[in-house]
Amino acid sequence: MKLAKKLSIAATSVVLSVAAVSARPAEAASVVFKGQTGNAYNYGIQFDSINQGGVEFIKSNSSFSLSGLVGVFKATVDTPSYLAVDSIDPDYVSFKVLKDVSGGVGSLSSFLNFSIFSNSPAGLGGWDITRRNPFGKATSFEGDVTAPVPEPMTIGGSLLAIGFGTWMKRKKAESAQKA
C-alpha cells in the first residue's frame, strides 16, 4: 500500500510540474507544426484566446514570422488571397495577412496554412505574431512552435504502468529469494 501511495504522489507531482512549466499567458494565436511531407514542413495558425462573442480575430495587415529555421529555400501558402510570403531567408520566414480571419479557440484557420521547404530539418523554431486590432493598434506575441503532445491521461497511464511493472518485478524477486 505504501508503494502505491508513493507512486500516485510521484505521478501527480510529475503531471503538475509539467503543467506548471508549460503554462503560458493567453495569446491571440500561435504557430502549430502540422507535419512533414518530403522537404516541406507544414504549419498552421491556431486561435488561442477568445473575445466577446466566442470568436478570435486576426485582422488584415497582421503579420507573423518563424525564426531559428535551417536551410529554408522556399515558402508557400495554401490560400494566397488571405496570406502572402513577406520575406524569406535560410533561417527566417515572415508572412502577411491580407484579409481578416476569425475562428474559435483551439481551431486552426484553413486560410492561414503554409509550408516551408528546407533540405535540412526545419525544426520547430520560434514564432512571432503581430496582430492588428480594428483600430490599427499592433500587439505582438511570441513563443515556440508547438507540435501535438500526448494527453495527460496517456502520460499518467504510462507512468502508472512503469511503476506497477517495477513493483511486480520487485515482488517476483522477493518471492524467488524466499523460495
Dihedrals phi, psi of 107, to nearest 5 degrees: -90, 150
- Confidence tier at 81 by pLDDT (50, 70, 90): very high
Q: What is the CATH number of the domain that holds 60?
A: 2.60.40
Q: What is the pTM of this model?
A: 0.59
Percent of the residues in the chain that have a pLDDT greater than 90, as a whole number? 5
18 pLDDT more than 60? no
Range of the domain at 51: 29-144
Cell of 25: 499567458
Distance CA 78, CA 99 (A): 14
Claim to verify: residue 56 and residue 125 sit in the same structural domain: yes
Lowest mean pLDDT among 22-31, 115-124, 134-143: 22-31
Q: Which of 103, 98, 96, 92 is nearest to 127 (CA)?
A: 92
**Which pLDDT does position 24 carry in this prediction?**
42
Claim to verify: residue 79 and residue 18 sit in the same structural domain: no
Claim to verify: residue 54 and residue 131 sit in the same structural domain: yes
